Amino acid sequence: MIHLGLLGYPLSHSLSPKLHGAAFAALAIHGEYLLYPVAPGAIGGLAELARHMRDGEIDGLNVTIPHKQAIIPLLDELTPSAKAIGAVNTLYLNNGKLIGHNTDAPGFLADQARFLRNSVIEKKALVLGAGGAARAVVYALLKDGWKVTLAVRRADLNQARALIEAFEPQIGSSSMDLVMMEAGDLERLGSRTQFIVNATPIGMFPETDISPWPNGLPFPKEAAVYDLVYNPRQTRLVEAAQAAGLRATTGLGMLVEQAALSFACWTGRDVPREVLFAVVEA
């Protein structure tokens, strides 16, 4: 029996137990995936779970908001991508060492490749937001050879500068830019943006009638739009982009990919993606 679970808070709406339950069933693996809600700041709760992993009582954990960074000091090692991103979403044990990994970045990369299908001529992306998910997205895009402009609100300018400083040594200073998430700045970027990624929670349930893209501002005419938000299934941003004739998708595919990659980390098995898509589409 393999013991897996999810650490975060709150967890009641998580799709992860259903995704991993379907993976167990599809691959005939005897396993369980439990929820471990630990309130923000409850370091004792995090330490206890780390201990259960080292004792072998838990074989693997996903980590979500608000613990993706807070758990890091309790781990023995980070994989190179988790270290660069500065956040983990997957924990596993390797030769007695508790390892932190990040499958959001490769999960995003796999899903954007499926979505864009090599249709992009000039790899110029605009990423909205500078939080944890933005770090994973930016890391993935830079590794894939994109030039990235970050668009942020004034409040997260420092967060955005820290993100750029973290990645600059690896990619050189010419691959990243910073603008404000305001109509004037976004308009000045012109029409060469090929890919817009929303990595803010704007438009997420229950505030489903708002969009991160400024009202009345036309989209760059060649752009494809990827909204990391997947609840609701069709976000305002995706609706508006499609209405303007652009290709657009929510982040359900990234959710599926990151889950499959975590599952592979723990079990060494590859889950057929259609099994997981059937879960999230149900």
Applying CB under 6 A, the residues found at the interface with ligand NAP are: 65, 104, 129-134, 152-153, 155-156, 159, 181, 199-202, 204, 228-230, 251, 254-255, 258
CB of 131 to ligand NAP, least distance (A): 2
Closer to ligand NAP by Cβ: residue 94 or 158 = 158
Query: What are the tokens at 189?
Result: 């970027």
Q: Which of 280, 271, 281 is nearest to 103 (CA)?
A: 271
CB of 281 to ligand NAP, least distance (A): 14
User: Is the Cβ–Cβ distance between 221 and 241 less than 8 Å?
Assistant: no
CB of 28 to ligand NAP, least distance (A): 26
CB of 95 to ligand NAP, least distance (A): 29
User: Is the Cβ–Cβ distance between 193 and 223 less than 8 Å?
Assistant: yes
Determine which one of 68, 123, 147, 221 is catalytic: 68
CB of 115 to ligand NAP, least distance (A): 12
Crossing angle, helix 157-171 and helix 132-143, to 10 degrees?
Answer: 20
Closer to ligand NAP by Cβ: residue 109 or 133 = 133
106, 191, 230, 151 alpha-carbon torsion, rounded to 10°: 80
SS3 of residue 80 by DSSP: helix
Closer to ligand NAP by Cβ: residue 132 or 220 = 132
Measured in whole angstroms, how far is the alpha carbon of residue 12 from the centre of its chain? 19
Q: Which of 236, 230, 229, 240 is nearest to 201 (CA)?
A: 229
Q: How far apart are CA 53 and CA 55, in angstroms?
A: 5
Closer to ligand NAP by Cβ: residue 45 or 232 = 232
Asked if 97 is an active-site residue, the reply is: no
Closer to ligand NAP by Cβ: residue 26 or 204 = 204
- Residue 55 CA neighbour count, 13 Å, CB half: 7
Catalytic residues: 68
